Structure 1
Amino acid sequence: MKMTKVGTVFQLSFMPRVFPVNCYLVEEENSLTLVDAALPYSGKNIMKAAQIIGKPITRIIVTHAHDDHVGALDGLKASMPDVQVSISIREASLLAGDVTLLQNENPIRGGVPKNIQTRPDLLLKEGDSIGSLEVIYSPGHTPGSISLLDTRNHSLIVGDALQTRGGTAVSGMIKPLFPFPSFYTWDKLIALESAKKLRSHKPALLAVGHGKMLEHPGNSMDRAIVEAELKLQQ
């Protein structure tokens, strides 16, 4: 595991040189909020990172229910039974392994967990606040994906709404050096609209599920959005 800190955000990256899978600890005054739960073996290192920081994890927020974002969830919940787990209303069904489509939905893509036992304590919607984090509904990679904006400093954690590994890209756009998020994107057009919405919040830091964090990411996000628009017009 590699740990990188920018402001209030600690990025925990697993397999950073091969297939980077990131989760995040967001520092509050007396506690930490974990955003996503990485891979099944990641739990011990996540808890070790919290010990190094010196604050307890009191909340877990899941941006979306793909396997590489919820892998350690059950183990973490077993170790910290009082931790509050939250996810969007739509993603809660996917977390439970239910891939039933709602009206007019495209088929679900990517690895949806089949045996996660943890159930959310809180179902999230646009505008909800969890500590210093504001929920932004940002579907596209999955139908119920959310992003989280730290209202203190405009750090933005986006799950897989964008990637920076292989180059900054909107979910669904293939980057040859790291194409995998594109393969598992549910709706590319919706993903583009979500990227535009996220850009409108003028983030000071972009933190993604795959790739390094970007400070002052506006120009990079703008280029990614233009690239996606051009490709989807073809």
Structure 2
Amino acid sequence: MNSRHAPLDQAHGLRQLFAAQRQRFVPLVHNPHVAFGGVSMERLCAAFAEAQMHTLVVDAADTASTADELAQVDLSACIERLSPSVSYLAARGLPMRHLDARGATSGFLSALAEAAPRADVVLVHAGASDIARLFARRAPRPILQAADLPESLTHAYASMKLLTQRLGVMAFDLMVAADAGSPRIARIADRLADCADRFLGAALSDWALADPSADDDEPLQPELRRLAAAQLRNGDDFTEPSSLAMHGRASAARGFAAAHAN
């Protein structure tokens, strides 16, 4: 056996084994005026699970729990498994520990990839400034959040403006956390898309609803499947829900509810 290709230790061997796996890093922009941000996370995870993807949710928003001190030594030990298809990491404050001389924190994404090699999708929930630092050397399509409140729409636009200026990204998606019966839902997306086009030259590609009153076992909406598929760059349609997705969705939803109880 050629010693040059022998794994140095068990962890190194695992990294070699999963090196060919393509992880998707998906930025979900925190909006303090959206009361049900956890619902957007759960819906996105459910859509990724239907595509046979395991998602690691990294919550680095100001409202998240502070990262465990153990994260400085062993990041993987701080990852909590919520269901067969979803894991969770409380990460408030962690990105700034990877700040480099250029003001970027993209090293944190590399640390996440190493800590969770089995995660197909890493959903990073953070404020716009943190997203800009984390994805400084990438070209993501950020997912904004809004609700049925004028303040939330103003904040979503401000986040979009910051990210166009600092990341140069010109395409966005949107999750609207609101009751499905609200007559203003479509206008929320239309207004944001109009402002993006007129004042920033940016575009709102897809938007989907995250209804906090919906049951966990309700079928996912086509708009959400399309949005998630575009994020994965996997075409327009997902396959039928897998048994892994159906088994894990309810327990993941309970985990998100507990994580955002405060």
TM superposition score normalised by structure 1:
0.31
Name the larger-Rg structure.
Answer: 2
- By relative contact order (CA 8 Å, sep 6+), the higher-ranking structure is 2
Structure with a larger share of its residues in helix: 2
